[in-house]
């Protein structure tokens, strides 16, 4: 069996594929292994899915290779675009189901899950539009030579995605890879394999040739490691923790030196100046850290508030956070559902205990919510010092660390006091402050008077240990293209 009937509170019964999606078919793993998928809301087992091991990775890679060398090459850029448009249309048509499966498996609030699927539609359409606009150049180096530079697909792309935005990461990875003419073997996170398999059915329905997009479920140390060290994978794109990012880069270097792009962790500063519109700033600070239960690599987890408004800010922020509804992800009023897994829940609770022991003040939260499911109260720590772990390490949960600053110079110094550099934000009504601080911060994205408002047209990625390369926007096309120089001698032989 490679599919079962499942139910979600929002969708009713549906057909959930459980196999590995290779060559447009759902198949069992070669070793016949399966693993359980847990519902984070009530800790029950939703179902089991087939697990990919090294042998399955080999099979998926050779399917992708065969497609790349064969039929996929014959598909015109315009037709690649049409396939992505069709896929986007199918995501739109199946938005309710995809969102429901996402909420079931990941625990994210259903309204947020619908937002994710809408963002997938935007992303897939955007890259569909790019497919026939990937152009080369003619470069004049003198009258005796004709040079042209062309963009070519890299080949078979291994893609490893995390559990915090299973469908959105699927689209961010597949959209640009396919637009540029590559083929793909994508491994989902072991915590959240379900929505990607439903989306795989849409790959087939959209009419992609077999082998162009292959989706496998499996564990990082087995299937993930097999992809990153595979000799016939030409490129690896990874989103996840910095620790694993390093391992992937080592595996790539130690195998065939495959091309690597990494989108890793963060500990992003959210800086509030005294001249900011305070209600606006509080809304964005709240959304910055508590959106997706704090499980965002760009979460605004370090909040720095100018000292003259520090006390007022904390009081009002607490009032705002108290309005965040934490509970059943299928309730339309819910803002925050459970954390994704027991492991994540335990890690976050450990950080909360550490913050308390280190002497930071718990302004609100600091405890588990209820006794079933991985729910954690939105937690705000004030008086957090720079040396505390909760100010330096990525918690990946609903935990906000706040401290104060005196002036612009101190805000910049504190903002840059981290090894990461994925995102940052500045809240101010002064245009000069906004631009000066934005330019000084070491971060791939700086938001001004907003937070977490990513857009598929805008590049996203990290400075420092937050990663290598940029996703989204035109920039992502670079990740998936080789640049070839062709230089033609027109004059007589020189030597």
Residues marked active site are found at: 263, 296
Instruction: Count how many residues are written for the chain.
Output: 495
Least spacing, CB of residue 239 vs ligand ADP, in Å = 7
Least spacing, CB of residue 102 vs ligand ADP, in Å = 16
Least spacing, CB of residue 185 vs ligand ADP, in Å = 12
By CB under 6 A, tell whether 244 contacts ligand ADP: yes
Are the C-beta atoms of residues 272 and 313 closer than 8 Å to each other?
Answer: yes
Q: Binding ligand ADP by CB under 6 A: which of 48, 111, 241, 449?
A: 241
Least spacing, CB of residue 184 vs ligand ADP, in Å = 15
Are the C-beta atoms of residues 299 and 401 closer than 8 Å to each other?
Answer: no
Total of chain residues touching ligand ADP, rule CB under 6 A:
17
DSSP 80: H
Least spacing, CB of residue 158 vs ligand ADP, in Å = 9
Structure tokens at 494: 């020189």
By CB under 6 A, tell whether 269 contacts ligand ADP: no
By CB under 6 A, tell whether 62 contacts ligand ADP: no
Q: Binding ligand ADP by CB under 6 A: which of 19, 122, 155, 224?
A: 224
Tokens 């910055």, located at residue: 288
DSSP 222: I
By CB under 6 A, tell whether 190 contacts ligand ADP: yes
Question: Based on CB atoms, which residue is closest to ligand ADP, 295 or 336?
Answer: 295
By CB under 6 A, tell whether 312 contacts ligand ADP: no
Question: Based on CB atoms, which residue is closest to ligand ADP, 173 or 187?
Answer: 187
- Which residue of the chain is nearest ligand ADP when measured via CB? 220
Query: Which SS3 state, helix, strand or coil, does residue 95 take?
Result: helix
By CB under 6 A, tell whether 293 contacts ligand ADP: no
Interacting residues with ligand ADP between 120 and 179 (CB under 6 A): 160-162
By CB under 6 A, tell whether 225 contacts ligand ADP: yes
Question: Based on CB atoms, which residue is closest to ligand ADP, 191 or 379?
Answer: 191
Q: How many Cβ atoms are within 10 Å of 342's Cβ, its own excluded?
A: 12
Question: Based on CB atoms, which residue is closest to ligand ADP, 224 or 473?
Answer: 224
Are the C-beta atoms of residues 273 and 405 closer than 8 Å to each other?
Answer: no
Tell me the Ramachandran region of residue 373: left when phi exceeds 0, alpha when psi lies from -120 to 50, beta otherwise.
left
Are the C-beta atoms of residues 95 and 142 closer than 8 Å to each other?
Answer: no
Question: Which are the contacts of 17, defined by CB distance < 8 A and separation ≥ 6?
Answer: 2, 3, 26, 197, 198, 200, 201
Q: Binding ligand ADP by CB under 6 A: which of 247, 286, 401, 433?
A: 247
Are the C-beta atoms of residues 425 and 288 closer than 8 Å to each other?
Answer: yes
Tell me the Ramachandran region of residue 370: left when phi exceeds 0, alpha when psi lies from -120 to 50, beta otherwise.
left
Question: Which are the contacts of 404, defined by CB distance < 8 A and separation ≥ 6?
Answer: 304, 305, 306, 307, 310
H helix runs in 70-181, sequence order = 71-74, 77-93, 95-106, 110-130, 166-179
Least spacing, CB of residue 177 vs ligand ADP, in Å = 17
Q: Which stretch binds ligand ADP (CB under 6 A): 45-53, 145-153, 243-251, 354-362?
A: 243-251
Tokens 């001698």, located at residue: 489
Question: Based on CB atoms, which residue is closest to ligand ADP, 105 or 328?
Answer: 105
Question: Based on CB atoms, which residue is closest to ligand ADP, 216 or 446?
Answer: 216
By CB under 6 A, tell whether 248 contacts ligand ADP: yes
By CB under 6 A, tell whether 187 contacts ligand ADP: yes
Question: Based on CB atoms, which residue is closest to ligand ADP, 71 or 254?
Answer: 254
Question: Which are the contacts of 183, defined by CB distance < 8 A and separation ≥ 6?
Answer: 64, 65, 67, 68, 72, 155, 156, 157, 177, 211, 212, 213, 214
Question: Based on CB atoms, which residue is closest to ligand ADP, 56 or 328?
Answer: 56
Are the C-beta atoms of residues 236 and 228 closer than 8 Å to each other?
Answer: yes
Interface mask (CB under 6 A) for ligand ADP, residues 193-222, using x and -?
--------------------------xxx-
Q: Which of 59, 76, 14, 101 is nearest to 210 (CA)?
A: 59
By CB under 6 A, tell whether 236 contacts ligand ADP: no
Least spacing, CB of residue 60 vs ligand ADP, in Å = 15
Query: Which SS3 state, helix, strand or coil, does residue 464 take?
Result: helix
Least spacing, CB of residue 236 vs ligand ADP, in Å = 9
Q: Which stretch binds ligand ADP (CB under 6 A): 106-114, 170-178, 237-245, 321-329?
A: 237-245
CA pair distance 302, 423, nearest whole angstrom: 11
H helices, E strands: number in the chain? 16, 22
CA pair distance 147, 487, nearest whole angstrom: 4
Least spacing, CB of residue 228 vs ligand ADP, in Å = 5
Question: Based on CB atoms, which residue is closest to ligand ADP, 222 or 281?
Answer: 222
Task: Give the interface with ligand ADP as residue ranges (CB under 6 A).
Answer: 160-162, 187, 189-190, 219-221, 224-225, 228, 240-241, 244, 247-248
């Amino acid at each position: 069996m490679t599919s079962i009937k499942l139910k979600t509170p929002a969708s009713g019964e549906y057909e959930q594929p459980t196999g590995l999606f290779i060559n447009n078919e759902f198949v069992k793993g070669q070793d016949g292994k399966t693993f359980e998928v847990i519902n984070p809301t009530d800790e029950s087992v939703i179902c089991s899915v087939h697990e990919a091991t090294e042998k399955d990775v080999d099979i998926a890679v050779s399917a992708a290779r065969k497609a790349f060398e064969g039929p996929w090459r014959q598909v015109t850029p315009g037709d690649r675009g049409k396939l992505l448009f069709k896929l986007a249309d199918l995501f739109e048509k199946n938005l309710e189901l995809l969102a429901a499966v996402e909420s079931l498996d990941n625990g994210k609030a259903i309204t947020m899950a619908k937002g994710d699927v809408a963002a997938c539609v935007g992303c897939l359409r955007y890259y569909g539009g790019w497919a026939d606009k990937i152009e080369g150049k003619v470069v004049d180096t003198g009258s005796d030579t004709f040079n042209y530079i062309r963009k070519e697909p890299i080949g078979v792309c291994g893609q490893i995605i995390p559990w915090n935005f299973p469908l959105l990461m699927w689209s961010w990875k597949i959209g640009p890879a396919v637009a540029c003419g590559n083929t793909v073997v994508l491994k989902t996170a072991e915590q959240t394999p379900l929505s990607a398999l439903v989306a795989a059915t849409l790959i087939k329905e959209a009419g992609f040739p077999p082998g162009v997009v292959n989706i496998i479920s499996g564990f990082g140390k087995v299937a993930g490691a097999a992809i990153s060290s595979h000799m016939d994978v030409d490129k690896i794109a990874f989103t996840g923790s910095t620790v694993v990012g390093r391992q992937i880069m080592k595996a790539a270097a130690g195998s065939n030196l495959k091309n690597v792009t990494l989108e890793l962790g963060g500990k992003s500063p959210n800086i509030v100046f005294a001249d900011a519109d305070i209600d606006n700033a509080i809304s964005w600070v709240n959304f910055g850290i508590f959106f997706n239960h704090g499980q965002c690599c760009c979460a605004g987890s370090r909040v720095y508030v100018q000292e003259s408004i520090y006390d007022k800010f904390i009081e009002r922020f607490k009032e705002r956070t108290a309005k965040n509804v934490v509970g059943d992800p299928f309730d339309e009023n819910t803002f925050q559902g459970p954390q994704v897994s027991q492991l994540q829940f335990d890690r976050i609770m450990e950080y909360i205990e550490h913050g308390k022991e280190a002497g930071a003040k718990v302004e609100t939260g600091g405890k588990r919510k209820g006794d079933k499911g991985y729910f954690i109260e939105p937690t705000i720590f004030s008086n957090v010092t720079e040396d505390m772990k909760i100010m330096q390490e990525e918690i990946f949960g609903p935990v906000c660390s706040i401290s104060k600053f005196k002036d612009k110079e101190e805000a910049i110094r504190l903002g840059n006091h981290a090894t990461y550099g994925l995102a940052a934000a500045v809240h101010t009504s002064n245009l000069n402050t906004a631009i000066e601080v934005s330019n000084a911060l070491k971060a791939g994205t700086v938001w001004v008077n907003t937070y977490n408002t990513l857009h598929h047209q805008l590049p996203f990625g990290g400075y420092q240990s937050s990663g290598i390369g940029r996703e989204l926007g035109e920039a992502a096309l670079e990740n998936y293209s080789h640049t070839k120089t062709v230089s033609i001698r027109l004059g007589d032989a020189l030597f």
